[in-house]
Homo-oligomer: A and B are copies of this chain.
Amino acid sequence: MNIPDQSALRSFAGREALRVEAAMRADLAEALAGCDPLLVEVIDYGLFGGGKRIRPLLAILAARLCGAADPALYTLAGAFEYLHVATLIHDDVIDQARARRGREALCRKYGTAPAILAGDWLHARSLYLVGRCAGSEGLAVFCRATTGMVDGEFLQLRHVADWALTEAEYFAIIERKTALLIASTCEIGAIFAGAAAEQRRALADYGNRLGTAFQVIDDLLDYQGDAGNTGKQVGIDFREGKLTLPLLRALAVADDSERAAIASLFAGDRRVESSLERVCRFIDAHRGFGAARQTAVQLADEAVAALAPFAGREDKESLAMLHALAGYVLARNK
């Protein structure tokens, strides 16, 4: 695909993020009234640490594209950020992470108990808001996504250090872990707008393809990212024994002796710096990075193609922004 100009998206996204943050603050003022001051502080720390608010933006654009104009949309949009942050907080407890979004991880700053509890609080509030704003149909879609994410995490645990992981299994994991929530975000935006089944399905497809592309790029950045930009160390996936698309693609075209050499690095002490360097050279030599990027481009193209039913709509802006978001996913370097 041709990557559309990102500057219009940037200013649009920045404006909408401010509105979403205002809606979140208004909702929290109501929901946390009279609550323990530490709970209020921990929720604030978790939510207002500089996220890009992509999930709320997707909900807003999907709903607008289907004709929604109700200001409650911003409250609904915030619910997707609550859920996203809840999963990040619990992930960081599980991984005993030290940093997140360039700051101390919440579990490290406040401890395990406040982190688990704050995640539970945000989880409950997000489901409540989705039920309130998008009814039991929206709640069903959302719950399928959140329980599916847990299933994806279990699938990933099962395949840690699994040299036999197939590409189909890789995609099954990232669809559940990442794409399902993004697809549900778009679909629930459509449900909020009272959209017809065909539009709901089109937006769910868009979200699924976009979310999958997003994760493929994430897995590329894990090898190729600049830690100064991403705020994350490089090579975490390899060290943790996660086979991701760049390596899978390189292995698919390597010969047996090359595969055996990489297998022994994977089975050995993966924390050794030279192992990671050799794996990177191997992926590069077999064009694994390019092949993975090509897949991400194709997924982004499919995302855009899924929006074809909306081509004749009056709301050109929302459609253009959803197209631009597909470009953003490919262009991002953090």
Contact = CB atoms under 8 A, between A and B. Distances in A.
Interface of A: 31, 35-36, 38-39, 42, 90, 93-94, 112-114, 116-121, 123-125, 127-128, 131-132, 135-136, 139-140, 143, 146-147, 150-151, 153-155, 157-158
A124 B121 contact: no
Closest 10 CB pairs of A and B: A128-B143, A36-B154, A39-B154, A124-B146, A121-B150, A127-B127, A131-B139, A94-B113, A35-B151, A131-B131
Contacts of A93: 112, 116
18 contacts: A38-B154, A38-B158, A39-B150, A90-B116, A94-B117, A114-B154, A121-B151, A124-B127, A124-B143, A124-B146, A124-B147, A127-B131, A128-B139, A128-B143, A128-B147, A131-B131, A131-B139, A132-B136
B150 A118 contact: yes
Contacts of A38: 154, 157-158
A114 B120 CA distance: 15
Given A132-B139, A135-B136, A150-B117, A123 B123 contact: yes
Copies in the complex: 2
A121 B153 CA distance: 11
Contacts of A150: 39, 117-118, 120-121, 124
Contacts of A131: 127, 131, 136, 139-140, 143
Nearest to A123: B123
A142 to B, nearest CB: 8
A151 B36 contact: yes
A139 B132 CA distance: 8
